[in-house]
Amino acid sequence: MFKKILIATDGSDIAENAADFGIKLAKNLNSEVYCIYVVDTTAFSSINNETLWQNLKSILEEEGKKALKNVENKVKNLNLRFYPVLKYGNPHEEIVKFAKDKGIDLIVMGTSGRSGLNRFLIGSVAEKVIRTAPCPVMVIRKGIDRGDVHEG
């Protein structure tokens, strides 16, 4: 049913929690695991200083590589096919585009848990992915017990 699972991460605790759910599901279904980190270039599009942008981009790339490596380490001994992906752009757009391009069957991601006016003004990557994804989206919120995915 879910042969290709895409885990979207930003390196946060909530994203790690979601990754654990996605990995556990992938293990149970013997699915391929794709993991995507999107360097959000939209947040810095107004920076005119090229040197400053390159420094910020370098820092964000390192954070992305670290987040992808954390998920890869969770998958390492589970005999699953794992594909890390680092993209640049608007996070929800890149996640949805990747899912379409690769024929992803399920997207697993965390949510920040924002509510009320803050969510209305800022929006949520998870909410935008849910509205535009070509496949089901499993959203893991803060406080959900992830269980032990490192067995067997």
pLDDT (average), residues 96-106: 98
45 is a domain residue:
yes
148 is a domain residue:
no
User: What's the structural domain count of the chain?
Assistant: 1
152 is a domain residue:
no
Report the candidate in 102, 80, 84, 87 with the shortest Cα–Cα distance to residue 149: 80
Q: Which CATH number is 32's domain given?
A: 3.40.50.620
Helix (H) or strand (E) holding 134: none
Q: Is 34:85 a contact under the CB 8 Å cutoff?
A: yes
pLDDT (average), residues 3-16: 93
Q: Is the pLDDT of residue 97 over 60?
A: yes
151 is a domain residue:
no
Can you tell me the distance from the alpha carbon of 25 to that of 21, in angstroms, rounded to the nearest whole number? 6
Q: Is the pLDDT of residue 3 over 50?
A: yes
147 is a domain residue:
no
145 is a domain residue:
no
Q: What is the pLDDT of residues 47-90, one digit of tens each?
A: 666 777 778 888 889 999 999 999 999 999 899 999 999 999 99
34 is a domain residue:
yes
Q: Residue 131: which domain range?
A: 4-140
Q: Is 104:75 a contact under the CB 8 Å cutoff?
A: no
58 is a domain residue:
yes
Token pair, residue 103, equals: 């024929």
